[in-house]
Copies of this chain bind each other. A is one copy, B any other.
Amino acid sequence: MIHFDSDYMAGALPEIMKRLVETNLEETTGYGSDDYTARAKDLIKKACANPDSQVYFLVGGTQTNKTVIDTILERYEGVMAADTGHINVHESGAIENAGHKVIALPSHEGKVHAEDVEQYLSSFYADESYAHMNIPGALYISFPTEYGTLYSKEELTALSNVCHKWNKSLFVDGARLGYGLVAEGNDVTLNDLATLTDVFYIGGTKQGALFGEAVVVNSKSPRFSHFTTIIKMHGALLAKGRLLGLQFETLFTDDLYTRAAKHAVNLAMKLQKGFIAKGYNPIIASPTNQQFFQLPNEVIDRLMKFATFEYWGPRGDNSSLVRFVCSWATTDEAVETLLKNL
């Protein structure tokens, strides 16, 4: 069997496993107060090149979205997001469980348009009874989006401008950030994210770590001075915090994070070209590690004999939307095998 279900199927990059084993018997204090964590924070701050940024580590994506959004919002505020956004559809209501409405905006291939945000906010505040509505407090976007698409620097700047014009926070879910940063045509950098957003995170779980997400806080909100307490309250504070620090230290040494992401995206592009060559155009032009195709059910059934991948929604009558994902662990042989049998 070859696997294209997701980018969190294998363990961790060998470099990470090596470091975990090497340092295993060291004893350090908990909750991120160790030196590995301190060095990882420094490396990430350096990569972001924003002296005001602060770095925190959490374990997983939904956890990070819930904890960060609950921190940047006032209790009476909701968060705007694409209707296809992960927080709106695939997090079991975690945001609402924290008391916040997800205000769904139209999705354009997974992306939110700045004009839609402007339109929503100006209509909202033009309504005399807005105090009786859920106040939008922040915008959540994903980079790359859930459909593998990317915002250009221009688009990201426009979103940042409209958010800050209306005094709303901008939060970027970067669970797959690396796959976006290395994509062909991408012009957004870590420094752009650290400058244009209030908070974003650098995904580890889907990018070669066993687990872990690095939250980069650029906002100066005083609430972040209590972020450790908030993380703990959300059950999200890892006891052996150095595991997070050590993994991110490794990822941000010798460009490992970038190299691993490039490997995955290169294979995804090869896969995409192979599908196109067989007459299957991707339903969305994703330059990243996720590829979406509407395939005849008979093709799906044939491929599923030797490959695993996911339906993206319910199976259709004749054809269905499916997703193929490459990761740092995907091999060239696996892609070749898939394409050969397409």
Contacts and interface: CB of A to CB of B under 8 A. Distances in A.
A8 interface: yes
A66 B232 CA distance: 11
A101 B90 contact: no
A76 B236 contact: no
A127 B89 CA distance: 12
Contact of A134 (B96, B99, B228): B96
Contacts of A104: 104
Given A239-B60, A240-B205, A132 B8 contact: no
Contact of A76 (B6, B21, B28, B226): B226
Contacts of A11: 20, 23-26, 240, 243
B21 A229 contact: no
A20 to B, nearest CB: 7
Interface in A214-250: 223, 226, 228-230, 232-240, 243
Given A91-B232, A135-B229, A329-B25, A96 B74 contact: no
Contact of A129 (B64, B90, B243): B90
B211 A243 contact: yes
A102 interface: yes
Interface string A82-109: 0000000111111011111110100000
Interface string A68-82: 001000111110000
A57 to B, nearest CB: 13
A239 B223 contact: no
21 contacts: A3-B27, A9-B28, A11-B23, A11-B25, A17-B20, A62-B235, A65-B235, A76-B229, A92-B134, A92-B229, A92-B232, A93-B134, A94-B235, A96-B96, A96-B100, A96-B101, A123-B314, A128-B310, A131-B226, A131-B232, A234-B235
